[in-house]
Structure 1
């Protein structure tokens, strides 16, 4: 692997030590780090960093191609187990704290990115203004200037994502939720959070932003 970030140095060292151990035992290192063994070690490194150079392509492709189906439907639990077993083929997988790390990777990799969560939990809310009027002695509230808002309903990371993203051996996998679900909230990389949150705050404060009502239902079609 090339250009590995320092934040995953522990993982890199664990995998890099394998050929050194092989040489000290008189075995050719390339016999150990080849085939699925090599792919497993590289997958562990690549799935622990947001920086994934071209060298990551073979291992990531192999990892995400591991899918177990039952009666034509993806069996997620069995898929997690199969992916965990693949990662376990790396000799470094038995190092201190590695088993827990591999558990987190197999449960969270691919399902804990901003793009994935923004897609899976995408929804629509509505922003509108209200006008009160009276007719035949009855008071009515009418909605006007209705705007649909693309938003993401999930605003708290699942526990498996916390275990996967927020680990001392990861590099820039963290994500944060911007705004509020009813008002166009969404996930971004943690490194982009301050800028995105400041923009969202500016869009939802100030004189021009006052007077809006937010709802999950379109006020013009809701029963």
Structure 2
């Protein structure tokens, strides 16, 4: 991942956040998903932003919400709101490790 520049990572995060903001998206496998909203959306954005070494301005609302939570179990519960597949539990654990939770 070291070959990616900060600009590339920022564009990737902004693109991912844009997908989260879309009303409806069609995945490459043809499945259609509805947009996320509220804390679910913020949770997914926080996961993306916490995983990135750069923090574009689009990360501000989700990170504000995440860091407003004081107790580790509250932060974990918030991050778990993002819909996930079987690999996301490891991602959540990795992010908690990076943030010292």
Q: Do both proteins adopt the same fold according to a TM-score greater than 0.5, normalized to the shorter chain?
A: yes
Matches within 5 A, 1:80-95: 80-91=72-83, 94-95=84-85
Give 1:104 shift.
Answer: 2.2
Give 1:47 shift.
Answer: 0.4
> Which of 104, 116, 121 is the aligned partner of 2:94?
104
4+ runs deviating over 2 angstroms:
none
1:143-179 CA-partner distances (Å, limit 9, x unpaired): xxxxxxxxxxxxxxxxx8xxxxxxxxxxxxxxxxxxx
Matches within 5 A, 1:147-166: none
Work out which of the two has the higher radius of gyration on C-alpha atoms and give 1 or 2: 1
Q: What is the match of residue 56 of structure 1?
A: 59
> Which of 40, 43, 46 is the aligned partner of 1:43?
46
Secondary structure at the counterpart of residue 43 of structure 1? helix
> Which of 1, 4, 24 is the aligned partner of 2:12?
4
Structure with greater strand percent: 1
Once residues 87 and 54 of structure 1 are traced to their aligned partners in structure 2, the CA distance between those partners, rounded to angstroms, is 19
1:42-66 CA-partner distances (Å, limit 9, x unpaired): 0000001111110000000100110
Q: What is the match of residue 148 of structure 1?
A: none
Change (3 A) 1:24 1:97: closer
Give 1:107 shift.
Answer: 3.6
Once residues 106 and 84 of structure 1 are traced to their aligned partners in structure 2, the CA distance between those partners, rounded to angstroms, is 8
**1:41/1:87 contact within 8 Å kept:** yes
Stretches of structure 1 lacking an aligned partner (at least 5 in a row): 6-11, 68-78, 112-159, 161-223
* CA-based RMSD: 3.0
Kindly tell me the number of residue pairs found equivalent between the two proteins. Answer: 83
1:14-66 CA-partner distances (Å, limit 9, x unpaired): x75xx436x837xxx34xx1110110000000001111110000000100110
For CA contacts below 8 A with separation 6 or more, give which structure has more relative contact order.
2
Structure with greater helix percent: 2
Stretches of structure 2 lacking an aligned partner (at least 5 in a row): 1-9
